[in-house]
Amino acid sequence: MDERNFLFLFYGLAAAWILLAGYVLTLAAREKRLERQLDTLKRMLEQREKDG
């Protein structure tokens, strides 16, 4: 392979993967937050229904 500008090819590909990985991490964090909220709400409703 012609290696001229290889460093910038690396920068470009690294930037693309970092952006994609960042988005995937955001998705994973959101999923955890939503699951937590869902669990909390379900438990709270069960408790209220038992009490009331």
Partner 1 sequence: MGDAMRRTILYAMTALGALWLARNLYVILLALPDEVAQGAIYRIFFFHLPAWFTCFAAFFAAGLASLLYLIRKSPGYDAFAAAAVEVGVAFTAIGLVTGMVWARIIWGIWWTWDPRLTWAFITLLVYVGYLMLRRAIDEAAERAKNSAVLCIFAFTSVVITYKAIDWWRTQHPGAVLSFRTGGGTIDPAMESMLFQNWFALLLMAAALVLIRMRQERMAREIDGLRRRAHAL
Residues that bind partner 1 (CB under 8 A): 1-6, 8-9, 11-13, 15-16, 19-20, 23-24, 27, 30-31, 34-35, 37-38, 41-42, 44-45, 48-49, 52
User: Minimum distance between the CB of residue 18 and partner 1, rounded to whole angstroms?
Assistant: 9
User: Minimum distance between the CB of residue 21 and partner 1, rounded to whole angstroms?
Assistant: 10
User: Minimum distance between the CB of residue 27 and partner 1, rounded to whole angstroms?
Assistant: 6
User: To the nearest 5 percent, what fractions of the chain are helix, strand and coil?
Assistant: 90, 0, 10
Q: What is 7-47 written as a DSSP string? A: HHHHHHHHHHHHHHHHHHHHHHHHHHHHHHHHHHHHHHHHH
